[in-house]
Structure 1
Amino acid sequence: MKKLRIVFVACFALVNFLSIAQENKPNIVIIYTDDQGVGDVGALNPNAKFNTPNMDKIANEGIIFTDGHSSDAVCTPSRYSLLTGRYSWRTSLKKNVLHADGPCLIEKDRMTIASLLQENGYNTAMIGKWHLQMEFEGEKGKGRDWSKPFTDGPIEKGFDYYFGIAASMNYGILTYLENDKVLEAPSMYTKKKMDVTPRTYRMTPPYQQDNAKGYVEVAPSFNDELVLETLANRAVSYINDVDKEKPFFLYLPLTSPHLPHCTHPDFQGKSNCGNYGDFMQETDYRVGQVLDALKQNGLEENTLVIFSSDNGAESNYAYQRDTYQHYSCMDFKGGKRDIYEGGHRVPFLMRWPKVIKAGTKVDEPVCQTDYLATIAEIIDVALPDNAAEDSYSLLSVMKNPNKKLKRQLINHSFTGHFAIREGKWKLNMLRGSGGSLKPVIIEPKKGEALYELYDLENDPGETNNLYFKYPKVVKKLKSKISKIIANGRSTKGKPQPYVKGNWEQVSWMSLD
């Protein structure tokens, strides 16, 4: 009997220990905006022409990474990298973005933040825009069967629950999806309506019955102005209703401020920066709804909130700059799609009151690939060699901003061109932006610089090419980026396989 009592006490103690350990795991919320420049947060840009009190709250009550980057200058590759901790150019996607319908870019059995947390006792949910492709039954305009489940979507990548839309609204399949179901058949067609609002477009009705060039599939009741509200309300409901006995992970990729600028009527005309400013103020309000839900449920203290954007501001940033004196890209060169800093320098904020001291700033270069390793360290899980190959844990600098990371960072453009960053140095492996819709790539003449080398500490606007002045720096960085690509990883560990293929953007190295 005494032995049984000892066994019972031991079992009870183990269960109690595991329960306490589970309680100490933080909830994790990643809020991911779409095409938001680093200057589109008031806490980062005191001269912003619209208000972002809720984004500012995350910044002021947590940590600002002043040198934070998306892994790419466009949508799909950045989303892949955020979820997997791996640069997307290691996959078959060497440039550009994917569509709404097709095989998912995240490979079968590849670890994601969601699958890692799901396997370690978390409830996991995604609410928002996917844009990594999923497969629907049938082909556009050829008798789709919307009643059948779609495959290769978020549920198969580690999420217990999914609600959202397939891709950017100009890419089509405009209807809401839940888990693996289409909630309303996209039985009609629409295209960009360029005359609805100045300097932008809308996907608003009227819709038409027949398919035509440039048209995308849309559900009859779909309303672009209500998407942000719908996603935020779902996120709030999830936080309110989720089983509080387990920690949860919520990935909330919003659709704004990506075109179309389809601001909810309640926010139209409310800013000092036209349609863009109105849309950003609505975005901030939706962020506030999520923060309020955490507070009302008593979850603030031990919830890590991460806020960032998939790339820099869309090219209409120039209109906002010239018309309203609002600088979405601050003084950085370029914007979305570009290899220059404006293409991938983004808001990079975290709040976790239990761990992060309010008002903290870190000036080290960091990347969204780093989220997976950071989360793995937080929950005390070792990563295998074939996961998170380009992910560095940020937990040490979250606790102590004076720590040094000592890492290289790879930037990547719309056209698939590269840059490498180490400390203050940035080497662009081309001359030109490598990013505009009609790429401006300068072919060097004999005796001209092959690449562009910048000292970002003294020249953050990338105006003075130091290629000839520091040939040893050029040689060193060229060697390092070649090694990072060839090893299939930038972190320590065994070299990993990657998709090589016909890769013209890395002509300076051999892939054999």
Structure 2
Amino acid sequence: MCSAQKNNPNIIIIYTDDQGYGDVGALNPEAKFKTPNMDRLVDEGVTFTDGHSSDAVCTPSRYSLLTGRYSWRTSLKKNVLAADGPCLIEDGRVTMASLLRDAGYNTAMIGKWHLQMEFVGEVNGGRDWSKPFTDGPIEKGFDYFYGIPASMNYGILTYLENDRVLEPPTLYTKRKVGVTPRTYRIAPPYDKAYKEKLIEVAPSFIDELVLETLTNKAVEYIRNATKDAKKGTPFFLYLPLTSPHLPHCTHPDFQGKSDCGNYGDFMQETDYRVGQVLDALKANGIEDNTLVIFSSDNGAESNYKYQRDTYQHYSSLHFKGGKRDIYEGGHRVPFLMRWPKEIKAGIKVNTPVCQTDYLATVADIIGAKLPDDAAEDSYSLYEMMKNPKTVITDKPLVNHSFTGHFAIREGKWKLNMLRGSGGSLKPVIIKPKVGEALYELYDLDNDPGETKNLYFEHPEVVKRLTDKMTQIIKNGRSTKGEPQPFVKENWKQLTWMTLD
């Protein structure tokens, strides 16, 4: 490891929740809402036009972002986790926070965790909220944590600080259904008695105020951390926001402000919150040497179809599918970076990249050496950020769906290793009939919408990518280095191979 140097940048990762590629105005000129602050990042930094979350759902992507490792190497082979339970990040594993903390950074997380943490007791009166929770952000490299345990549509709804529950969630609630598809609120009145599948909630918790609360806390953190940063101790702030994930609980100040219903209103509030963070950097005089990374944990929720049909807003742009899907709409997301001191304004990189790459990139920036058992799927993007023509040879990209199926990418070729999407497009995961394709092969340069399956036309590409996927799994890594162990059990999705 290295010690923090005076010229090392502050680092902020703003991570939205279920935001599609077309939900940034600068990436989608026909967007039906305005995102001037996200557009600032496009105009003032680098846009990775082929940037991806590792997964098409929440928990796995968050694991990959922080560890530089695909989540399917853990016990989580599909789906997402809950709020309460053992953390998916293993004890002792290097995270971006622990790497930077050990290099002399101040580290903080403000926002949604959703990698599980362990609370004392059980639901329905058996909790002891006075006791600290364990296996949360503080144990994974963060000096400071303020936020909520998981998504706001289930789990535990209250604010946490470091390892403490700030207000005991002693009441219970359920979704208050809205009038448009898949919209609802988590709002008072709350119930005093527990019933099956109700959510634990703190009495003062109001969903419409969560984005404002988290952002204000982030702005406060930036202000307080600036003094150390100017003296040579930079900070890392991981800011995973709760929007535009359901419930679309827009602050009253932003309701009715867009041309895309409540979803558009919520996105405009989200953009405003991004602007508050950017403005805080400028106000505190640290904008020039702060690397801001902006992305989303997966593509747009399935009600993107409602926004498309009702308002002609295309959250997935021209890409197929959305959240949960193996298709591009499930994991091709806004992937923006701004660092005025190092990155030229307004450049674009068209190379396929992944959020797993963040950890190696940060390590490269600060001059830290990663051990063999860390960041197994992470490639540094540092040179590419400065020079978009930089080529990383032999860099595969693997994506993963809600049902745990794979897509592997090599240049223009993408092989979806199942028949169907693995998500909201209702996959047909059955043995193909005679003459039917086993998988789907697409040429994304000429067919970014994944409309023409070239499986039969290019058997050599199918074989090459299948063999490469096999090696990536068996080696426990996709980067160079010593093979690494991984969880091999309960992996029904590996239909083309067996594990020793």
Shorter-chain TM-score range: over 0.9
Which residue of the other structure, out of 296, 311, 334, is the alignment partner of 1:309?
296
Q: Cα deviations across residues 43-100 of structure 1 (Å, max 9, x unaligned)?
A: 1001100000000001110000000000000000000000000000000000000000
1:415·1:439 contact (CA, 8 Å) conserved in 2?
A: no
Structure 1 residues 136 and 437 mapped into 2: Cα distance closer, same or farther (>3 Å)? farther
Could you tell me how far 1:507 is from its partner in structure 2? 1.8
Distance 1:440 1:322 in 2: 25
Matches within 5 A, 1:308-457: 308-406=295-393, 407-436=395-424, 439-441=427-429, 443-457=431-445
Q: Secondary structure at the match of 2:6?
A: helix
Q: Cα deviations across residues 149-204 of structure 1 (Å, max 9, x unaligned)?
A: 00000000000000000000112210000000000000000011003777500001
Q: Cα deviations across residues 472-494 of structure 1 (Å, max 9, x unaligned)?
A: 00010000000001000000000
The runs of 4+ residues in structure 1 deviating greater than 6 Å are none
Q: Secondary structure at the match of 2:157?
A: coil
Q: Cα deviations across residues 431-457 of structure 1 (Å, max 9, x unaligned)?
A: 101113864435411231110000000
Verify: 1:485 aligned to 2:468, yes or no: no
Could you tell me how far 1:289 is from its partner in structure 2? 0.4
Distance 1:510 1:503 in 2: 10
Verify: 1:86 aligned to 2:73, yes or no: no
Alignment-derived partner of residue 108 in structure 2: 125
Q: Secondary structure at the match of 2:399?
A: strand
Matches within 5 A, 1:39-188: 39-188=22-171
Structure 1 residues 146 and 437 mapped into 2: Cα distance closer, same or farther (>3 Å)? farther
Could you tell me how far 1:210 is from its partner in structure 2? 1.0
Q: Cα deviations across residues 272-294 of structure 1 (Å, max 9, x unaligned)?
A: 00000000000000000000000
Structure 1 residues 500 and 332 mapped into 2: Cα distance closer, same or farther (>3 Å)? same
Distance 2:301 2:196 in 1: 24
Which residue of the other structure, out of 192, 209, 232, is the alignment partner of 2:175?
192
Structure 1 residues 121 and 431 mapped into 2: Cα distance closer, same or farther (>3 Å)? same
Distance 2:473 2:434 in 1: 28
Q: Cα deviations across residues 332-372 of structure 1 (Å, max 9, x unaligned)?
A: 00000000000000000000001000011000000000000
Q: Secondary structure at the match of 1:170?
A: coil
1:489·1:496 contact (CA, 8 Å) conserved in 2?
A: yes
Report % sequence identity.
Answer: 79
Verify: 1:205 aligned to 2:188, yes or no: yes
Letter in 1 for 2:56: A
Q: Secondary structure at the match of 1:126?
A: strand
Q: Secondary structure at the match of 1:136?
A: coil
Structure 1 residues 199 and 475 mapped into 2: Cα distance closer, same or farther (>3 Å)? closer
Q: Secondary structure at the match of 1:235?
A: helix
Alignment-derived partner of residue 261 in structure 2: 274
Distance 2:353 2:236 in 1: 22
1:487·1:495 contact (CA, 8 Å) conserved in 2?
A: yes
Letter in 1 for 2:260: C
Alignment-derived partner of residue 485 in structure 2: 497
Alignment-derived partner of residue 469 in structure 1: 457
Matches within 5 A, 1:15-34: 22-34=5-17
2:325·2:425 contact (CA, 8 Å) conserved in 1?
A: no
Q: Secondary structure at the match of 1:502?
A: coil
Q: Cα deviations across residues 401-451 of structure 1 (Å, max 9, x unaligned)?
A: 001123110010000000100000000111101113864435411231110
Letter in 1 for 2:161: E
Q: Which runs of 5+ in 1 are unaligned?
A: 1-17
1:196·1:202 contact (CA, 8 Å) conserved in 2?
A: no
Q: Secondary structure at the match of 2:13?
A: strand
Distance 2:280 2:109 in 1: 16
Alignment-derived partner of residue 9 in structure 1: none
Q: Secondary structure at the match of 1:453?
A: strand
- From the CA coordinates, give the structure whose radius of gyration is larger: 1
Distance 1:164 1:255 in 2: 10
Letter in 2 for 1:323: T
Letter in 2 for 1:365: P
Q: Secondary structure at the match of 2:208?
A: helix
2:419·2:427 contact (CA, 8 Å) conserved in 1?
A: no
Could you tell me how far 1:22 is from its partner in structure 2? 2.0
TM-score, normalization: structure 2? 0.97
1:432·1:442 contact (CA, 8 Å) conserved in 2?
A: no
Distance 2:161 2:377 in 1: 31
Alignment-derived partner of residue 239 in structure 2: 252
Alignment-derived partner of residue 12 in structure 1: none
TM-score, normalization: structure 1? 0.95
Q: Cα deviations across residues 250-269 of structure 1 (Å, max 9, x unaligned)?
A: 00000000000000000000
Q: Secondary structure at the match of 1:505?
A: coil
Distance 1:502 1:174 in 2: 31
Q: CA RMSD in A?
A: 1.3
1:39·1:48 contact (CA, 8 Å) conserved in 2?
A: yes
